[in-house]
């Protein structure tokens, strides 16, 4: 019985870590800077759902919602730094971890509700 409790506790702690612990090394960016990138080596990835991103479009952004990020991460160029646009902190943490696990360089994020 103790082993089952320890296994359940381990899975729940891992789940909470992936969703709620901040990702180190990425900084918050201003939405105006993200909308008009001055550098050519920055790729903007919009991970909000389609209904939200359709209302607030951002030019030159790769619109890949978070549930589809594992499948379509290859559409994002490998030689560019990535700025993630998301609607909340959980989406920021999950998308940054997914992209980093796939070998991409995530350097910043922007929350659309701010």
User: Could you tell me which residue, 92 or 112, shows the higher pLDDT?
Assistant: 92
Both tokens of 26, joined, read 């990425």
Q: Tell me, what CATH number does 62's domain have?
A: 3.40.250.10
48-100 confidence digits (pLDDT tens):
999 988 888 888 889 999 999 999 999 999 999 999 999 999 999 999 999 99
pTM, two decimals, is 0.85
How far apart (Å, rounded) are the C-alpha atoms in residues 80 and 67? 22
C-alpha 86/C-alpha 67 separation (Å) is 12
3-state secondary structure 55-83: HCCCCCEEECCHHHHHHHHHHCCCCCEEE
Between 30 and 98, residue with greater pLDDT: 98
Contact 26, 64 (CB under 8 A): no
In the chain, the number of structural domains is 1
d(CA 49, CA 44): 15
Q: What is the DSSP letter of 23?
A: P
Q: How confident is the model at residue 34 (pLDDT cuts 50, 70, 90)?
A: low
The residue segments making up the domain with residue 18 are: 2-111
Q: Quick one: pLDDT band at residue 35, thresholds 50, 70, 90?
A: low
């Amino acid at each position: 019985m103790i082993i089952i409790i320890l296994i359940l506790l381990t899975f729940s702690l891992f789940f909470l870590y992936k969703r709620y612990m901040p990702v180190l090394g990425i900084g918050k960016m201003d939405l105006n800077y993200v909308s008009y990138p001055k550098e050519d080596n920055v790729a903007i990835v919009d991970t909000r759902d389609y209904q939200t991103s359709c209302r607030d479009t951002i030019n030159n952004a790769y619109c890949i919602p978070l549930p589809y990020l594992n499948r379509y991460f290859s559409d994002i160029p490998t030689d560019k730094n990535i700025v993630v646009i998301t609607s909340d902190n959980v989406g920021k943490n999950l998308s940054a971890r997914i992209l980093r696990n796939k070998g991409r360089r995530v350097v910043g994020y922007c929350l659309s509700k701010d």
